[in-house]
Structure formats: structure tokens, C-alpha cells
Amino acid sequence: MKGEQGLFPTREDLVIEEALGPQGISEKNKANQNQKKLVQTTGKESYALVHERKRDELGHEPLRMDMFIECHSKKDENRTPSTVEAANYMAQMHEKREKLSEGSQDLPAENDILSQ
């Protein structure tokens, strides 16, 4: 647990953690995990390594959308989105991509799906 002011737990955090015990901490961690909307599926592989691998696979620099899909999809045959929220974002990205003209660049813009 981290204190509000920094990286180290406060005395109050330590007292609460001790009172909860291992089972209580486990339950609290499960509850926190269930609140996650997006799940990164790269494991221990860094984004830089994923980017490099994807670039080699595609033969050109991957788009931000390609990287999002790569990092938030299960590693199954169908590249299933890791969560419902990730699936929604991917659908929105595909929609916006369809509207782009041929040759347009994948530049960040205010309020775009990937910049939020």
C-alpha cells in the first residue's frame, strides 16, 4: 500500500494491512483488480520490445491503433480484446480509421480515442 503523499505506506496503511491479514489483503487486491477497465496483455515484455517486434512483423512503423490492439488483446488466434472496454475502444478506433482518407497520418489530436 502506498501513502497518499508518497511511495511509502503511511503508519495508518500499515496498521490496516496488519489488521486485514493475508486473506483480507488478498480480497482487497481482488476487488481492486476487478475495477480495472483495461488489461495490458504484454506480460513482462516492454512496450518498446512490443513496438520493435510489431515493426518487424509489419515491415513499417506500427500505428498507435496497432500498438493498442497488440497490447490489449489476448494472445489467442482471434486476437480477442482483453476486456469489454478494450473491445469498445477498438471498435471506435476501427470506425475512425474507416473515415480517414488514404495516406492520412496517424497523428495525436485533441480528444482522440488513443489520447484519452
List, for residues 62-80, the tens digit of each pLDDT value: 988 899 999 999 988 888 9
Tell me, yes or no, whether 78 and 50 share the same domain.
yes
Instruction: Provide the domain count of the chain.
Output: 2
The yes-or-no verdict on residue 112 having pLDDT over 90 is no
Has residue 111 been placed in a domain? no
Tell me, yes or no, whether 53 and 83 share the same domain.
yes
In contact, 41 and 75? CB cutoff 8 Å: yes
Domain that holds residue 22: 1-35
Tell me, yes or no, whether 75 and 88 share the same domain.
yes
Has residue 7 been placed in a domain? yes
Has residue 10 been placed in a domain? yes
List, for residues 34-62, the tens digit of each pLDDT value: 888 888 889 999 999 999 999 999 999 99
Cα distance between residue 59 and residue 24, in whole Å: 49
